[in-house]
Amino acid sequence: MIVDDQQYDVIIIGTGAGGGTLVRKLAPTGKKILILERGEFLAKESSELEDIEVFKKEQYHAPDQWYDTNGEPFSPQTNYSVGGNTKVYSGALLRFRERDFEEVQHQNGVSPAWPLRYQDFEPYYSEAEQLYQVHGKAGDDPTEPPHSQDFPFPEVAHEPHVQQVCDILSKQGLNPAYLPLGLGDQGRTDSEDTGTTPATNQGDVTLKTGAKVVSLHTNPSGSEVKAVQAEIGGQAYLFLGHIVVLACGAINSAALLLRSQNEKHPNGLANGSGLVGRNLMKQQITVMVQLSASTLPGSYQRTAYVNDFYWGDDNFDYPMGHIQNGGGILQDVIFAESPPVFSGLAKVLPGFGLRQLATRSISWWLQTEDLPDPNNRVRLAGEKLHLDYEPNNFEAHDRLVYRWIDVLKAVESAAPSAFNRGTYPRSTMPISVVAHQCGTCRFGEDAATSVLDLHCRTHEIDNLYVVDSSFFPSNSSISPGLTVIANALRVGDHLVQRLG
């Protein structure tokens, strides 16, 4: 084992939305910071997700094999590179709604309250929108929470076919809104260009890539993490730091804590509550296709969302979820997970190739909050990582799907020459789609019922923090990215103070 001779003020593990944003916040302190990232830099051309070949090669699946509840292996759709999943995400950066922070009764159970409220996150949402250059327009969506600052950039215009749908939706009394999008000169803003790159240029920050952290070692009493063990180029290294921050994503951070068990922490580090890895959530997501009578470009931004059914509708008193259009299907990574959608399309339009099928379709993503269930969890069996996950809240999700089919039918009745009628191939995301994973180390005030305190510091280990999507005590139907970023900025404020 090689022991690095440096002593770092902070070691951050992972460079995704959480880790990449945090290092950007901490770099100006001038403190000595080490970032350990298991992936490498993603070549620029590879992040242009325009080629359907990418899907076939499954380039954005991690090299890992994980196992489902029944022990069936699968290849998780998660990206290991500098920037983490923000290198492959769609850059739809929305705030959670005010009620998402409160206790909400769903059809299948309760979504528990967060220990902090929307007002506590609001300044950090504004800071996050500035940092990630979010383009948007407030005021169209009645569920939009109050903003202390306007979006820093104006909204992105809809592709004409999508504009046509939105116009019809408005006439029907719905409230289609412009999707807030993080966009810079290079395309979608991500936590490499916005986070790690400016941080390494500015501060005393060292980034090591190809550095997979395998274990955290504590002092003999178990009160502090003393060293971080990583594999780099087949060699074991030990790095020493005063403060250690996990930002490996909700599944991998929990797995790392569980793997780092020792005499003082026999069930995994900081796991006196038994909650590390539990309450895994990932939303229920269905992609649905609307067939256009004319050809659309293969690549265009997602720009529209509809939250009219977010908290329910006249026939259903419980939350249903969020809908957004999918952008050019050829650039939509998760679409690769949906062969049933393509086979559905092939039946409707026989003789068309994949590319033609894709360019005759508008995709719609339907997302419904799943509820925390301690039996849904990350579990280790020896070296194997299992995701025990039973979807819940599916009646609400089904309602959303059927409600949206009704809406699309009405759109087609209003413009019969623009859309093919009556078929809506769709597919619900399987276990391997862990894009919206969260919840495995929930934060809270009580050490018996949460893993992290309000600063996302583990209750049990004074110098250990978790700053990725693990901290969510409940989910929402909104995509998680902006909330992970805002929280990293919030925890960053606390760490700046702590570092003096």
Ligand X SMILES: Cc1cc2nc3c(=O)[nH]c(=O)nc-3n(C[C@H](O)[C@H](O)[C@H](O)COP(=O)(O)OP(=O)(O)OC[C@H]3O[C@@H](n4cnc5c(N)ncnc54)[C@H](O)[C@@H]3O)c2cc1C
Residue ranges in 373-412 that form contacts with ligand X under rule CB under 6 A: none
Q: How far is 66 from 16, CA to CA, in rounded Å?
A: 20
Look-up of token digits 């690549």: 299
CA gap 227, 223 in Å, rounded: 13
Measured over the CA atoms of residue 171, residue 172, residue 175 and residue 181, the dihedral's sign is negative
What is the signed CA dihedral for 16, 393, 162, 60, rounded to 10 degrees? Answer: 30
Encoded tokens for 457: 């510091």
Which of 103-111, 162-170, 221-229, 477-485 is the region at the interface with ligand X (rule: CB under 6 A)?
477-485
Contact status, residue 238 vs residue 225, Cβ threshold 8 Å: no
Q: Smaller CB distance to ligand X: residue 240 or 435?
A: 435
Determine if residue 439 is left, alpha or beta; phi over 0 gives left, psi from -120 to 50 gives alpha, anything else beta.
left
Running DSSP on this structure, what letter comes out for residue 43? P
Q: Smallest gap, in angstroms, from Cβ of residue 110 to ligand X?
A: 23
- Indicate the residue among 289 and 485 with the shorter CB distance to ligand X: 485
Q: In angstroms, give the least distance from the CB of 79 to ligand X.
A: 6
Q: Is 333 in the site for ligand X (CB under 6 A)?
A: yes
* Beta carbon of residue 92, minimum distance to ligand X (angstroms, whole number): 4
Residue 426 makes contact with ligand X by CB under 6 A = no
Per rule CB under 6 A, is residue 441 in the interface with ligand X? no
CA distances from 375 to 90, 280, 363, 473 (A): 30, 8, 33, 15
Pick from 11, 12, 14, 158: which binds ligand X (CB under 6 A)?
14
Residues 207-246 touching ligand X, rule: CB under 6 A, are 212-213
Closest contact distance (angstroms) between CB of 288 and ligand X is 17
Q: Does residue number 289 form part of the binding site for ligand X (CB under 6 A)? A: no
90 binds ligand X (CB under 6 A): yes
| Residue 455 touches ligand X, criterion: CB under 6 A | no
Tell whether residue 319 is a contact of ligand X (CB under 6 A).
Answer: no
Of 374, 178, 191, which Cα lies nearest the Cα of 276? 374
Q: Which is nearer to ligand X, 168 or 491 (CB)?
A: 491
DSSP state of 419: B
Residue 334 burial class via C-beta count within 10 angstroms: exposed 0-12, middle 13-18, buried 19 and up: buried
CA-based nearest residue to 322, from 260, 366, 356:
366
| Residue with smaller CB distance to ligand X, 54 or 291 | 54
Rounded CA separation 256/242 (Å): 19
Q: If binding is defined by CB under 6 A, does position 85 make contact with ligand X? A: yes
* Segment 15 to 54, residues that bind ligand X, using CB under 6 A: 15-19, 36-39
Inter-residue contact 258 to 327 (CB < 8 Å): no
Q: Give the 3-state DSSP-derived string for 41-66, with helices as H, strands as E and coil as C.
A: CCCHHHHCCCCHHHHHHCCCCCCCCE
For residue 252, state whether it binds ligand X (rule: CB under 6 A).
yes
| CA distance to 98, 117, 167, 323, per residue, from 163 (Å) | 28, 35, 6, 15
> Could you say whether residue 278 binds ligand X (CB under 6 A)?
no
- To ligand X, the closest distance from the beta carbon of 337 in angstroms equals 9
Residue 248 as a binder of ligand X (CB under 6 A): the answer is yes
CA neighbours closer than 13 Å in the CB half-sphere of residue 80: 19
Nearest approach, Cβ of residue 339 and ligand X (Å):
16
Q: Which of 180, 241, 249, 344 binds ligand X (CB under 6 A)?
A: 249
- The CB-of-271 to ligand X minimum distance in angstroms stands at 17
330 binds ligand X (CB under 6 A): no
Interface stretch with ligand X, choices 74-82, 270-278, 360-368, 445-453 (CB under 6 A): 74-82
CA dihedral 309, 315, 320, 321 (to 10 degrees): -10
Is residue 100 close enough to count as binding ligand X by CB under 6 A?
no
Report how many residues bind ligand X under the rule CB under 6 A: 41
Q: Which two tokens stand for residue 49?
A: 């997700």
**Listed ranges 85-93, 106-114, 282-290, 451-459: which one lies at the site for ligand X (CB under 6 A):** 85-93
- Enumerate binding residues for ligand X (CB under 6 A): 13-19, 36-39, 77-78, 80, 84-86, 88-93, 212-213, 247-249, 252, 256, 333-334, 435-436, 468-469, 479-482, 484
